[in-house]
Structure 1
């Protein structure tokens, strides 16, 4: 089992010293990866399910933050949980992601994408909310095409994106393309992960029966697409107080990575929480 940690800018803030200290603590404790979330724009009345999102929440840009994290760490992998892919142009995004990967020495390896749940956010980004799933599928294909393409250029003619003879450099470090994980709590997200993803990051507050059904959807969609179901990583949220028995139970369900979030913003208490978790699971 691998263990990641999430830095929530709405909770912890976007202060550079706080982000740097958090990232260094996570790396020193032996966590494999650090994730940041994304919202491009909020507005009064925005809700995800029953949860209201105050419009003043400081959602900093995750890729800018990860570039900063890369400069103050040396080992920890960089991830998004989740980046709202339909609201980014994939030609621009391909360059931004590989730049972070190059500057970090090949650590931008846990890009996790979602399609978004706020219609007002889609409107602000100029995206038809109803098409965001198709747009995300097409964007995944464009990203991989650009990363794999050479000096001769590549072309694409889709519903949302079209270009011809385009080159995108620099390239990811040591790989032909960056892994793309799919996050979400819907059947559509699970199927997208199986058809196109290198991993599935299950979200939401779902029961265990629904969790199992969705992971079966991931594996079934992968098989139908001619992909290896065992090659799709499975990430789940966890808590810093989870026991070894909790982790063993998740492992039996096929989970390959657990991501946790500290419950306090106070640096000393946070370090103690991370150290206790790391000691329990032998991370450092």
Structure 2
């Protein structure tokens, strides 16, 4: 089992010294990865399910923040949970992700993308909310095409994006494609993970039966697409005080990575919580 930590600037704030110190603590404690969420803009009345979001929540740009953190760390992998893919142009995004991966020597490896659930956010960036699923599918194809393309260029003709003989360098560090995990809480997201993703990272308040159904849907969709279901990673959220027995249950369900959150904001308390977790699960330090 691999273990990551999520850092939420809406909760912890945007003090650069605190962000760096937290990332260094995560690395020191032996965690595999650090995840950041994304919202591009908010507005009064924006809500995810029953939860209304304050429009002043300070969501940093996750990729800019991870690039900043990369300069102060050496080992941890970087993830997004989730990047709102339909709201990014994939030609620009391919460059940004490859740049972070090159500068961090191969650590931008846990990109997790989702569709976004706020219609006003889609409208603000000129995206038809109803088409964001198809747009995300195309964007994934464009990203991989550009990363793998050579000096002669690559071409694409789709519903939302089209170009001829584009050449995008630098390439990701020592690979021809970066992993793309699919986030979401729907069966459509599960199918997308099976058809196109390198892994699935479901969120939301799903019951055990629905979670099991969605993971099976990921695997069956992968098989239908001629892909190896066993090659897909399965990431889940858990609390920082998750029992060992619960982690063993998740592993038996096929989970390969657990991402935890800490609710404490003081550095000493954060060190105590993360260190205790690392000791309980024998993380390399």
Length-normalised TM-score, structure 1: 1.00
Which residue of the partner structure matches residue 100 of structure 1?
100
2:239, 2:78 → 1: CA distance?
A: 20
SS state of the match for residue 240, structure 2?
A: coil
Deviation at 1:263, TM superposition (A): 1.0
1:49 paired residue number = 49
Q: Which runs of 5+ in 1 are unaligned?
A: none
Secondary structure of 1:135 counterpart: helix
Equivalent residue, structure 2, for 1:90: 90
Name the structure 1 match of 2:206.
206
Offset from partner CA, 1:29-75 (integer Å, 9 cap, x none):
00000000000010000000001100000000000000011000000
**Other structure's SS at 1:236 match:** strand
SS in 2 for 1:21: helix
What SS does structure 2 have at the residue aligned with 1:222?
Answer: helix
Residue 65 of structure 1 is matched in structure 2 by 65
CA distance in 2, matches of 1:252, 1:274: 24
Name the counterpart of 1:166. Answer: 166
Counterpart mapping for 1:212-251 below 5 A: 212-251=212-251
Q: Give the match for residue 137 of structure 1.
A: 137
- Determine the C-alpha separation between the residues in 2 that align with 1:121 and 1:29: 36
Which runs of structure 1 show a deviation greater than 4 angstroms over 4 or more consecutive aligned residues?
Answer: none
Output the CA distance in 1 between the equivalents of 2:93 and 2:105: 18
Note the residue ranges of structure 2 that are not aligned, 5 or more in a row.
Answer: none
Mapped partners of 2:64, 2:18: distance in 1: 15
Q: 1:156-187 CA distances to partner (integer Å, 9 max, x unpaired)? A: 00000000010000001111100000000000
CA-atom RMSD, angstroms? 0.4
CA distance in 1, matches of 2:77, 2:259: 12
The residue aligned with 2:27 is 27
Query: Could you tell me which residue of structure 2 aligns to residue 123 of structure 1?
Result: 123
Q: Which residue of 1 aligns with 2:256?
A: 256
> What SS is found at the alignment partner of 1:136?
helix
> What is the SS of the residue equivalent to 2:174?
coil
Question: How many Å apart are 1:28 and its aligned residue?
Answer: 0.2
Secondary structure at 2:201 match in 1? strand
Equivalent residue for 1:147?
Answer: 147
Give the structure 1 partner of residue 8 of structure 2: 8
Q: How many Å separate the matches in 1 of 2:25 and 2:84?
A: 27
For 2:276, the equivalent position in structure 1 comes to 276
